[in-house]
Structure 1
Amino acid sequence: MALQEAIAADDINQLYRLIEGDIYLLDQGSEGPFPNTPLHDAADQGKTKVAMEIATLKPSYAEKLNHGGYSPMHLALQNKHYHLVRALMTLDPELIRVRGRGGITPLHFVAGKIGDDEQENKELLDLLAEFLFACESSIKDLTNQCETAVHIAVRIGNTEAFKVLFGWLKRVHLMRILDCKDQYGDTVLHIATSEKQPEIIKLLIGYMTVNVKNFQGNTALEIFQANPSGDPDVVERFHQIGHQERRFTTIISLSTFYSTELTLLEKYRNWIGRRDNSSREAVLIVSTLVAAATYQAALAPPKGYWQDSSPDPQANSTIVTANSSSIALGKPHQAGDLILSGDELSCYTIMNSMAFFASIAVIGACALTLKDRRLASAAVLPIVFLCFSYLVTFTLQIPKTNKAAVSYLATAFLLFWLGWLSLFIYATRKLKIVLRRIDATWRQVKD
């Protein structure tokens, strides 16, 4: 009973005095598969100081479920001890993923909880956002009814919590979580339409496929038609999106998708991205070296630059002579001009540019195989600036009299980027369309 008194008083000093007298004090009640540990008691009462001290001394207690099926964080949430919840989260963000009774995690609990007043509701929304920020992977945890936190928020009509979840999913590029189905085969859109939640439907339209069927064989569009929300704008947008999907997209099952022949994009990604990693790395290294060498060659072309201006700029002779100080006299030129000119310069420009753009294309092709679009974009951006720098460097160096070399370089540059950007846009859009066609019960977050 002395331990309970220390917990009730939230007195750390008294706790340690008791531990000095009995080093096994904190083990009381911790036996068995579903123990009610001292940490559970402290969390239930909201005694932050003692709870954190016990959690530090006995970290394993924070993950254990008591006989009611609750972890210490669950108990703190149920009793509205939100400061203690935040404190426990700092010890281990993975506590947010502990599944309690019904498979409910602390994230599920907060997503499905509406405060008694505006102040409490705001605190719950802040806590929801902090959970998502601290443990991104918690969003893919399912309850025993195969519901995500988004399902729960929509099912109980917690619009504010849904907006937090929806905004976060867009920022971390995990919108495909919305396609997950619960035990009835319902996606978030199915639930929103059946519960007549026009505000949530407006947010979801354009991000989700309305013709995906649940396990009863009903699409979100059919559910909406049977239970219209009464909002004319929602009705119009729903029918517009549904018509576009029926026209351009055919929904297929995952098994049907795997039974079909590989798409062009999949063949490309298999050929480039999924071969032996060591071979691909070797290709990338060679391509990088070639890009660096050809870029340097643009800065220091063969024969170099004229060191002095021609004393006879009107001379038309193509025969170059030199005086005793090695200053060319016959060929008109200015100091800093390329010595290389005419067909030689055009040929050099073409060959060097072909090698440069080919190496850049290989690097870009490998970037296309990255599943993470953010990494692909990060890889492409420096390439764009490098190519522009190459173009500017060569354009400034080539004499105005040699228009052919300038034309060849500008044409090569435009053709390269038109082709490469077209391929990148096509691949990204094609991948998005292919993934949206698949009607799967559950897919991993980053598949």
Structure 2
Amino acid sequence: MNSSKNMLGSDTIVVSFRRMDERLCEIARTGNVEDLLKLTEDHPLLLHTVLLEGGENPLHIACIAGHVGFVKKVIELKKEFAMELNQNGMTPLHIASAAGNIEIARELLKIDSNLCLVKGREQRIPLHCAAVKGRVEVVEELLGASGDSIAYVTARNESVLHLAVMNYQYEVLKVLVEHLKKFNKEDIVNQKDVQGSTVLHLAVSRRQFEVISLMLDEEFVNKSVLDINSLNNAGLTPLDVLLIFQSEAGDREIEEMLRRAGGARARHFSLQSLEADRTATSDVDEGRPQSPAKQLLNYFKYDTIKDSPARVRNTLLVIAVLIATATYQAVLSPPGGVWQDDSNDHVAGKSVMGSHNPIAYSLFLVSNSVGFFTSLHIICLLTNAFPLHLELQISIFALIFTYDTCMTAIAPSSRISIMFTVISIVLPFLAPVLSTGLRNYLKAPRCELPLTSNSNSR
């Protein structure tokens, strides 16, 4: 009996704290300091409980709302909130930095300057958030609190300079470059992301003329430091990136700027320079630079690092749907169309091509059916774990039935019609079996037969 009472009492406390938590969130949204003090006086353990629960706390909410006075009071009552990450992987300083609230950022940094080095979602620190949003004043404040923060990179190995260029934040980039020059850290401009791209690669690919001009200006970046011919993972220099897709107005001016600064194409490098970059790039093939055509193919080919499985699946789904649509349409409207009327040698609604050239028509339908059923098989595989998968399968079987009906209906003879009825029944089940067997065969290891004594003697 006592135990049940204790359990009931603990449940009541949990419910009570949840209600107070909701009330605390509302107070944080409005920024009412008096209500906060009254609530904490009535429930002294409330802030401790919220801290133990984790996730979003009153300081996160106040930073979003921009209530400086409320932030000061919460810090005074429970400064540990400043270190907590919310459900989006952001500390209060991340939020204040992204929002550009310099006053709140300063208050938070008073607790501990190392707060600007706390890593959140994708390993981003507050400086990264400020750079993405172009908060110049906050960037300067964060760099002042910790100059080393400029060397921190994200989970994708992106430096804060990468993020500034990717988000077209030129003024932020200027501040960052000036900071690098002031503290002799200019080599960070050559930092590469997971795709091997430097800041210059990104600026050239986005045709950011003013950024390129800044990076090539010796007053900002020492020429001896900047690696203008750095190779990315596709084996391309910044000049290669420009010339492969040269089509926009202003490209000629950018090319001239790069060449004046010593920019060159990868194929012009000496074999010694190429060998030095062999481990970091795919630019060398058996000791020779790749051709422009090969570079273009490497630029677009599948990369296990930069291409996520979700992105690849979505791409394959689009391609499979396009193939299914094209092959389905080909059956509805076969080459040559269908006869429009009856006569002695043909029947209305039957394939013209099938009447004149049955062999070619048979080859067309077989090839078209292989493409159609294989694409449907791919769609089924890629959507296997999707919700409403049963309904999707019903739709696919209905599509197969209409395809088979149309294919047999327009066949010019009963013999061809029967043949394709059999094919239409067998192919949906045969396509996955054949594809699996062929894939296993092609990927099976090949063993060379050992040389016999006779062959050795010869």
> TM-score, structure 1 length as denominator?
0.49
- Higher normalized contact order (CA 8 Å, seq sep 6+, divided by chain length): 1
